[in-house]
Structure 1
Amino acid sequence: MREPGGEIPPGYSPSRNLPKEIKTILANCLAHGWRRFVETAENFPEECGYVLKLLGDVYKNDAVAKKRGIEGAVRLHFHQERSGPLMQNLHAWMQAQFAERKVEPNSSLGEAIRYMLKHWKALTLFLRKAGAPLDNNLVERALKRAIQHRKNSLFYKTDQGARVGDLYMGLIHTCELNGVDPFDYLTRLQENAKPVRSRPRQWLPWNHPRDPARPPPG
């Protein structure tokens, strides 16, 4: 993770291709660990159910923090107090599975546990670093959208058409990130073309009212 925010997925070298003066903090995506247990839950329902319940409670805590608008150091303390014990219990349970030989290390469950233990420090950065996210899902969704747009771009006839498509993709995704309905937003831009031209900053997606019943910004 680069200061002050951002996240690096598993397998990526944080120092690769980055200037030496940029400090990096490695953060792994907790959702990647989650998925490994989901994928093997059919074969180990009881064990995976226990892990997924604990991780689910951690995500519930994060959802509560977001709903309350808790950020920074306050969010960090919130997770340390509520999610810290859950993650400690999970770590102890996973270690016990191998120590007590309850799980074969080369089984799908064993591999899921080994992945979590190997990346534990980076997976739990949100318990030590203010602002560290639980996962990288937001960035991954954004990358998938760009890849999808690249495929669709094969059908543009002109460079200008491609530029317009890029513009709309950026606007639509920015609307979604800000909880704004893209169709409603683009419709309002068309209906208020003159005010948009005179005061464009006030019509950016994050200044657009989330409730369509509210008047346009500015």
Structure 2
Amino acid sequence: MREQELDWEQRTAERGKHARPVLDRLEKWLKENQYRYRPQSSMGKAIDYTLPRWAGLSAYELHGQMEIDNNLIENAVRPLANGMKHYPFAGSHQAAEMTAAMYSFKASCKKNTINEFEWLKDVFERIQSLKQKDLHQLLPSNWKKYRDNPIS
């Protein structure tokens, strides 16, 4: 679906058509076999791990905007992993948290094909004039939509 560049509505429809039957069969199998395996066995542990998380694990099928995996994010933050050994030298815990937040925004800009400098400049120029309930407009995932037509 990525290669076909389907929009999120199309992805939702495709997932409902193809993934839903597989997910239904898997959930049924997990429930049927929950007590067939010893809790300490590998399969028992896998089932016990999966069932309480089922809603979250299968949620991607209901929302085409969600990815089935975190590969895109992993690839976006991989270059930052080398910096992790330097975070203890950020000066303070708060500085390290701010650095992590900026890396997150940078990765979000990259994912949304946004020029990071343009985004940050616009955020600094507009943030004081926005009400708290409208700050979502400045998130990289919403920025293009609200940049030219802000809701205030």
For residue 191 of structure 1, report the CA deviation from its aligned partner. 1.0
Question: Deviation digits for residues 47-73 of structure 1, max 9, x if unmatched?
Answer: xxxxxxxxxxxxxx742x21x423134
Gaps of 5+ in 1: 1-60, 79-129
| Distance in 2 between residues matched to 1:159 and 1:138, nearest whole Å | 28
The count of residues paired between Structure 1 and Structure 2 equals 104
| Distance in 2 between residues matched to 1:209 and 1:163, nearest whole Å | 26
Match in the other structure for 1:109: none
**Which has the higher Rg, Structure 1 or Structure 2?**
1
| Distance in 1 between residues matched to 2:68 and 2:126, nearest whole Å | 40
Match in the other structure for 2:11: 71
Higher helix proportion: 2
Match in the other structure for 1:174: 108
| Distance in 2 between residues matched to 1:206 and 1:189, nearest whole Å | 13
| Distance in 1 between residues matched to 2:94 and 2:68, nearest whole Å | 39
For residue 156 of structure 1, report the CA deviation from its aligned partner. 1.0
* Alpha carbons 2:127, 2:135 under 8 Å: kept: no
For residue 187 of structure 1, report the CA deviation from its aligned partner. 0.7
Query: 2:139 aligned with 1:200, yes or no?
Result: no
User: Measured at CA, do residues 165 and 196 of structure 1 come closer, stay the same or move farther in structure 2, by a change above 3 Å?
Assistant: farther
For residue 152 of structure 1, report the CA deviation from its aligned partner. 3.8
Question: Deviation digits for residues 166-210 of structure 1, max 9, x if unmatched?
Answer: 111111112222222221111111111312454312222211017
User: Measured at CA, do residues 62 and 208 of structure 1 come closer, stay the same or move farther in structure 2, by a change above 3 Å?
Assistant: closer
Query: 2:150 aligned with 1:217, yes or no?
Result: yes
User: Measured at CA, do residues 196 and 180 of structure 1 come closer, stay the same or move farther in structure 2, by a change above 3 Å?
Assistant: farther
Q: TM-score, normalised by structure 1?
A: 0.37
| Distance in 2 between residues matched to 1:216 and 1:187, nearest whole Å | 17
User: Measured at CA, do residues 157 and 133 of structure 1 come closer, stay the same or move farther in structure 2, by a change above 3 Å?
Assistant: closer
Match in the other structure for 1:141: 75
| Distance in 2 between residues matched to 1:216 and 1:155, nearest whole Å | 41
CA RMSD, 1 decimal: 3.6
* Alpha carbons 1:207, 1:217 under 8 Å: kept: no
Query: 2:84 aligned with 1:150, yes or no?
Result: yes
User: Measured at CA, do residues 188 and 133 of structure 1 come closer, stay the same or move farther in structure 2, by a change above 3 Å?
Assistant: closer
Q: TM-score, normalised by structure 2?
A: 0.50
